[in-house]
Amino acid sequence: MSGRAQLMWDEAVTGYDFGPHHPMDPVRLALTRGLISAYGVDRQLRVTGAKPAGDSTLRLVHRQDYVDAVKAVSADPGSADGSYGLGTEDDPAFAGMHEVSAAIAGLSVGAAEAVWSGEAEHAVNFSGGLHHAMPGAASGFCVYNDAALAIARLLELGAERVAYVDTDVHHGDGVEAAFWEDPRVLTISLHEHPRTLFPHTGWPEETGGPGAEGTAVNLPLPAGTGDAGWLRAFHAVVPELLAEFRPQVLVTQHGADTHFEDPLAHFAISLDAQRAVQLACHGLAHDHSEGRWVALGGGGYAVVDVVPRAWTHLAAVAARPIPPESMIPEEWKQLVYARTRQLGPMRMTDGRWPVSFRDWQGGYDPADRLDQAVLATRKAAFPQRGLLP
């Protein structure tokens, strides 16, 4: 294995644009790429593109009639009528929708191929992580499910055990659905409780379909969860499951919408805790997957203050971490102002580094809502994997 880290990038992904009033503003991708460049992270890893996902690749997860529907509204956005989830408030149709969605999917598939072949040890596609898309429908700002496609490609190449860890504030429902009955894929999702947030799924009792019991793990956490609770929950569930499953590749999704500034959800997570989880995932890949790590972006709607910093840290963790106290380069703040007429953040931290938390092994509080959530997940999923709850 080469040990090199790879950044998947194609300028075309900035065309993933649902319109000027949609929260998923593609400027977040351009600003992230700009901050990665301003820090010189792109000189510490190999920046490469990939061919867009073709129909045969898309069919690893998606139905052909759905792909055809995306192509049709891509060519004529005015024809979208809400069928297949296209032309809705969440997923408005736009010209070129198929092409740019296939480009994003191709980058994630390319990341998976590079890591599996040994061309790269780690591969990052921060434009990916579109985890809500279903086999036959767009959902939640997601057209093609690049995360599921990357995993499906790994299986096609011969992987026998792939673990997927989703740290977006929303449940990773599309990836879970794609592998609900496949024991080769372990999906773990930490997310805001389905009672209070889209897609209103991801209960602890959802643990996998027939023949794959215990391969879907859901950890719904209370609205208002902060750094210490989030990290406590992550470390109470993820490492033990990965140690038991022994994945050959670790695929992780790092939606930045857990952040306290995010306008669409209700967690209170800092950039520093997000970075701590990125570092933990990097370490877990080395512990359990011989370093094979595919890291994806995801949600994130504080498009200036949060997303670019979060995903620049992600790319840097795959190469050489950026100290949290680092001052933001002036050239990037000028780019922010030119693109958004906003003032960018000053440092690569929210001032909470290092983030501390109580380890689960020290005991739990039966009256604490977060501990109740963790215990519910462990009781539902762990015995199915031969682990003590």
Distances (CA, A) of 320 to 41, 43, 237: 8, 10, 27
- In degrees and rounded to multiples of 5, residue 282 shows phi and psi of -60, -45
Handedness of CA 52, 58, 63, 64 (dihedral sign): positive
- Our answer to whether residue 122 is catalytic in this structure is no
Q: Which of 122, 131, 132, 191 is catalytic?
A: 132
Which residues are identified as catalytic? 132
